Amino acid sequence: MSDPRPQRETVREEPPVLEEWYRRHLRPDLYDISSSGVHPYTFAEIREMCGIGQDDLDAIVMDDSVSQGGSGIRQAIADRYAAGDADRILVTHGSSEAISLTLNTLLRPGDRVVVQEGIYHSLGHYPREAGCEVAVLPAAAVRDGEIDPQALGSLVTPGTAAVIVNFPHNPSGATLSPQGLKALAAAVAEAGAVLVWDAATAEIAHRWEVLADPGALYGPALRTVSYGTFSKTFGLPGLRVGWAVADPELLRATFPLRDRTTLFLSPLVELVAERAMRSADQLIGLRAAEAGRNLAHLRGWMAEHEDLVRWREPEGGVSAFPVFRALERPGTPPGAVEELCLELLERHRTLLVPGTAFGAPQGVRLGFGGGEADFRAGLAELSAFLRGRGAGR
């Protein structure tokens, strides 16, 4: 008997290159110099540094939380990023869920949206999925802490619905100076757009001061949605907690979608997250100092290998995007960078992320937020690979 129900055509969407790469290739026995986060703390370290005692854990009632997040964790996030206004905080399963909930709610078909080039895949996916008109802010337009005024003026025009950016940028580490942020905010406000601000690695800066959340900095004069996470600079990727800072009305409008997906977080996770947020200066400070030492070592490594690799030194975050000169030769196929990374992985147990994950097939994401010994060992393996590969050819 035939099925009387109407059949829908199914369009199979490929997974993001970045997530698929890690799914296939990340193993515990590697030198992982690919990550855009710092190396994770153990729970023992977190308990000691954040003052989480056995009595605190035993007192947790394993009941439901609430849609916007428990009051303790929301207030802790708000005190650091939202001038104390907990009504502007939505606590989520990583910043990926915050991105999904808010962009699915904010954007409409036909909206004109400016999206920064090479941005985290989710930030570009939802505008396309919503049927928006997407204009790209070129990576080359961001230099020396400023967005080129001509590019900014031509892209952020009246009627633009949203401008989606990530500073410090993952993977390049390019970021804005305070003056550059001021210029961007003024352009977005004048256009009547929403500034969508991904601040996943904002707490680690190398050239200028750490940028404040634009919503807290400019208040009602600028409409903003910003994202944060414990996964990058806090060293807590396994906690899977992120947040959005936005107008309370927009946050409430995400509830129908959240009610049909994840509902809320665990109270156990919220307690750990709250204590970690209250200890942010210590958690981030230790890892930021380590990343600074790694960056100094990387700076010397790049100078020694300038015949093989070129780069723009990162201004924030813990990742860089070096470009292999061999892959810039005319006629080099786009997939060559993936072959290079697989060869490095097989021969030297060293992991990088190919630039195809970011639409830039001549380079790789190289992370310098890991432990110093492993980072230096991974760079040594990369050096041996590149020198040997060059000699072989």
- Render pLDDT for 296-305 as a digit per residue (tens, 0 to 9): 999 999 999 9
pLDDT at residue 367 greater than cutoff 80: yes
d(CA 88, CA 244): 8
Looking at residue 334, its pLDDT comes to 83
Type of residue at 229: T
* pLDDT > 90 fraction of the chain, expressed in percent and rounded: 94
**Residue 392 binned pLDDT confidence (cut-offs 50, 70, 90):** very low
**Given the DSSP bridges, would you call strands 224-229 and 242-246 parallel, antiparallel or unpaired?**
antiparallel
Instruction: Supply φ then ψ for residue 332, to 5 degrees.
Output: -70, 125
Chain centroid offset of residue 264 CA: 22
- Condensed to tens digits (0 to 9), the pLDDT of residues 229-274 reads 999 999 999 999 999 999 999 999 999 999 999 999 999 999 999 9
- pTM recorded for the entire structure: 0.94
Q: Which two tokens stand for residue 47?
A: 């308990």
* pLDDT > 70 fraction of the chain, expressed in percent and rounded: 96
- Condensed to tens digits (0 to 9), the pLDDT of residues 110-163 reads 999 999 999 999 999 999 999 999 999 999 999 999 999 999 999 999 999 999
d(CA 286, CA 279): 11
Looking at residue 12, its pLDDT comes to 67
